[in-house]
């Protein structure tokens, strides 16, 4: 995911610096923007076993064909940045014809920043009903773009229909619960919790508990090794985590605090007080498993 995130950031930088070029020049969009994203998605952009440019169809040439197991899995149609691929129907219909007349199930339409993936045919459904994912990296959070575009990765694209359905269900459920009055933060905490019914935040502890494990939230809950199974052990584990994620003088100060607290007697209630204060001052979300 990190490589894809970096690719999206690079695309945004290029567009902001050279927008006029990409509005006028479709070839620049292909070479500078689309290729970089597909590379980050795991496709070997210069390998004809995986990506074939100017793929012939009965209705014309698709800009690219994505190959899996020696067969075309999806066609890719590129437009310049001046074409709003998310709203205009004619480029999407053009792509759907390429797919339908060649028996290719999926199509991807992009202008470098906006992306749309579609299932080319299904009895009794309209074209817009068959849209699997849409992405607009200029207008939505990067993490959202990363997750949605990841469905087009070489390792996941075989399951794009199932994954897009799961993602849509997650989004609808999340918005539905927000509409019922549940705070967004509560829902995120629920989804990212460690999964153990005995995991509680430090703010809910009394001080007389015996922790089995400690966690800190850093783009997901991360397990911290416990020097000892006590509240003091949790405090020491958090300090070690802070040391690893710091540098320079701050890192030295954290190490000194760790070495001092490691050898001095510290009652559980006092250790819990220090732990809570540390979490508040540093903006850390800390939890323990009992």
Residues 58 and 111 in one domain: yes
Give the model confidence (pLDDT) of 73-115 as tens digits.
Answer: 999 999 999 999 998 889 999 999 899 888 999 999 999 999 9
- Does residue 120 register a pLDDT over 80? yes
Instruction: Tell which of 152, 177, 202 closes a domain.
Output: 177
Name the band, by pLDDT with cuts 50, 70 and 90, for residue 283: confident
> H/E element holding 72?
strand 71-78
Instruction: Tell which of 177, 207, 230 closes a domain.
Output: 177
Domain that holds residue 64: 2-177
- Quote the pLDDT of residue 197: 53
Give the model confidence (pLDDT) of 2-23 as tens digits.
Answer: 899 999 999 999 999 999 999 9
> 218-223 long-range CB contacts below 8 Å, 24 or more apart?
218/245, 220/192, 221/192, 221/193, 221/194, 221/287
Domain for residue 36, yes or no?
yes
Q: Nearest 10 degrees: CA dihedral of 275, 280, 285, 290?
A: 30
Q: How far apart are CA 65 and CA 257, in angstroms?
A: 58
Q: How far apart are CA 161 and CA 137, in angstroms?
A: 21
Residues 29 and 139 in one domain: yes
For residue 77, the 8-state DSSP code is E
Query: How high is the mean pLDDT of the chain?
Result: 90
Of residues 260 and 187, more confidence is placed in 260
Instruction: Tell which of 142, 177, 212 closes a domain.
Output: 177
- Quote the pLDDT of residue 110: 97
Residues 30 and 143 in one domain: yes
Residues 113 and 213 in one domain: no
Name the band, by pLDDT with cuts 50, 70 and 90, for residue 119: very high
Q: Domain count of the chain?
A: 2
Mean local confidence (pLDDT), 268-280:
89
Domain for residue 259, yes or no?
yes
Domain for residue 226, yes or no?
yes
- Quote the pLDDT of residue 58: 77
Query: pTM for this one?
Result: 0.68
Domain for residue 93, yes or no?
yes
Residues 82 and 147 in one domain: yes
Give the model confidence (pLDDT) of 133-177 as tens digits.
Answer: 999 999 999 989 999 999 999 999 999 999 999 999 999 998 999
Residues 169 and 249 in one domain: no
Residues 10 and 146 in one domain: yes
- Quote the pLDDT of residue 86: 92
Give the model confidence (pLDDT) of 197-242 as tens digits.
Answer: 567 888 888 888 888 888 988 877 788 888 888 999 999 999 999 9
- Quote the pLDDT of residue 60: 82
- Quote the pLDDT of residue 281: 87
Domain for residue 212, yes or no?
yes
Q: Give the residue carrying structure tokens 């020097």.
A: 227
Residues 77 and 142 in one domain: yes
Give the model confidence (pLDDT) of 77-88 as tens digits.
Answer: 999 999 999 988
- Does residue 69 register a pLDDT over 90? yes
81 to 30, 112, 166, 253: CA distances (angstroms): 10, 7, 30, 51
Domain for residue 13, yes or no?
yes
- Does residue 195 register a pLDDT over 60? no
Domain for residue 184, yes or no?
no
Residues 228 and 87 in one domain: no
Mean local confidence (pLDDT), 182-189:
83
Name the band, by pLDDT with cuts 50, 70 and 90, for residue 123: confident
- Quote the pLDDT of residue 194: 53
Residues 10 and 110 in one domain: yes
Name the band, by pLDDT with cuts 50, 70 and 90, for residue 193: low
- Quote the pLDDT of residue 185: 81
């Amino acid at each position: 995911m990190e490589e894809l995130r970096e690719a999206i950031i690079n695309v945004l930088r290029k567009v902001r610096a050279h927008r006029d070029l990409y509005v006028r020049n479709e070839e620049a969009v292909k070479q500078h923007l689309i290729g970089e994203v597909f590379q980050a998605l795991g496709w070997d952009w210069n390998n004809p076993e995986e990506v074939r440019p100017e793929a012939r169809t009965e209705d014309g040439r698709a800009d690219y064909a994505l190959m899996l197991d020696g067969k075309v899995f999806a066609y890719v149609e590129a437009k310049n940045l001046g074409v709003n691929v998310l709203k205009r129907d004619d480029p999407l219909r053009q792509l759907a014809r390429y797919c339908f007349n060649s028996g290719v199930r999926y199509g991807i339409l992009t202008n470098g920043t906006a992306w749309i993936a579609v299932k080319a045919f299904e009895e009794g459904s309209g074209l817009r009903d068959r849209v699997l994912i849409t992405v607009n990296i200029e207008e939505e959070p990067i993490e959202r773009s990363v997750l949605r575009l990841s469905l087009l990765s070489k390792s996941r694209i075989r399951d794009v229909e199932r994954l897009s359905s799961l993602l849509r269900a997650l989004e609808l459920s999340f918005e539905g619960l927000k509409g019922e009055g549940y705070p967004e933060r509560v829902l995120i905490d629920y989804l990212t919790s460690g999964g153990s019914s005995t995991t509680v935040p430090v703010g809910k502890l009394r001080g007389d508990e015996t922790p089995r494990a400690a966690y800190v939230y850093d783009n997901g809950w991360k397990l911290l090794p416990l020097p000892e199974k006590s509240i003091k052990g949790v405090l020491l584990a958090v300090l070690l985590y802070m040391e690893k994620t710091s540098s320079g003088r701050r890192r030295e100060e954290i190490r000194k605090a760790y070495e001092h607290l490691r050898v001095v007697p510290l009652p559980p209630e006092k250790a819990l007080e220090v732990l809570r204060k540390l979490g508040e001052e540093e903006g850390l979300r800390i939890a323990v498993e009992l």
